Structure formats: C-alpha cells, structure tokens
Structure 1
Amino acid sequence: MFESLIALQLRVFSQAAEARPHHLRTRNGDHEVDFILQCPDQRVVAVEVKLGASVTDAHVRHLRWLRTQIGDDLINAVVINTGPHAYRRPDGIAVIPAALLGP
C-alpha cells in the first residue's frame, strides 16, 4: 500500500513535469528499480520506495547499478522512505521521507 501511495504521488508530479513514469526490471530479474521518471529529453530520475526509516547499501544497489549503465542520463537517484529526515548519502543518492513529498 505504501508503494501504491508513492506511485500515485509520482504520477501526479510526473505529469506536471511532462515526464513519463515507468518501471524497470531486467530480463533476467537481476535488477529492478521501482520507478523511472523519464523526462522529455530522455534523461531519467530513478526512484526506489522502501517501507522503513533507514536506508542501507542493499536498498540502493539497483540505483547504483543503473548509474553505471546510463551515466549522465541519470539526473538523480532517490529513495523514498518513512524516515524523519531528508539527506544525501555519500554515494550521492537522495533519501526523502514520504511525508516531505508535495507540490
């Protein structure tokens, strides 16, 4: 249910930004990213949704993989969680509490 709530919010924000939301799963299932928001210029924002307050390296492994695959076409990588604080991890991945999402 948490991921569905975030999906609804991301779809609304994507529409306002003229971006298209997608899901990414490799053919063999080794890598999966919950949401890929594709901008009109084809660059993307990758979003993982985690029901929990803390974010570990295991939670961001697919975002890191995607960065190695598409390089500068990845505008930002984000984990949306239930934690109390927004911050940027040392690897550059943003962590944003769902409570901070809004227009």
Structure 2
Amino acid sequence: MTIDQLIGKIYNKLSKADISGTQGRVAVQFNLTGKVSGVFYVEILNGVLSVMPYEYIDRDASVSGTMTNIEKMFNGKLVPQVAVAEGKISIEGNVDKVMLLAELLKQ
C-alpha cells in the first residue's frame, strides 16, 4: 500500500463519520516510520474534513508508527491507548485530540 492509498482509505472512512458536531479544530499529523515512511495529516475544522499528504506545522498532536499500525488504528483493529502502551505508536501533543479522532473512527 502507498501513502496515497492510505490517505484515501482514511478520508473515505472519516467522511462517513458524523463530524458535523466537531467544534473548533482537530489537527493530527501522522508520521509513518519503517519500510514505508512519510507524513500526512487529518484536520477537522468546524466540521469540515481534510486529509492531506503534508506536514501540519500548527498541529494539535502527532502520531508516529508504521503504516501497518497506523492503518490498524484507523480500521479499529488497534486501540490507540493499547498501541501506545505496547510501543506500537507514539503520541506527542494533545492526546485528547487523538482520542477524539479515534472515537470518530468508531462510527
């Protein structure tokens, strides 16, 4: 899988979630490590979704991990709290924003 394919999957999944009630901004950057490396971000700004293959300078948080573990997190097969505890991903910044994003993925 390429980064662009992962971004497409994530966008499709989140576009089906009810993000209309998300007030303010949620901006989380994802840093892919390992065999496939790269960066992308997910932003929800006043209920409008963006998933882009760029760094987000003024992000709320960043999540780092392999493409496999990031994809599992977005598919609901890997709980962020468990993934952090097991060292599969790392989170820097506002953990609450990452958890809000994880909750939206459950919809």
Same fold (TM over 0.5): no
- Higher relative CO (CA 8 A, sep ≥ 6), structure 1 or 2? 2
Give TM class, smaller chain: 0.3 to 0.5
TM-score of the aligned structures, taking structure 2 as reference length = 0.34
TM-score of the aligned structures, taking structure 1 as reference length = 0.35
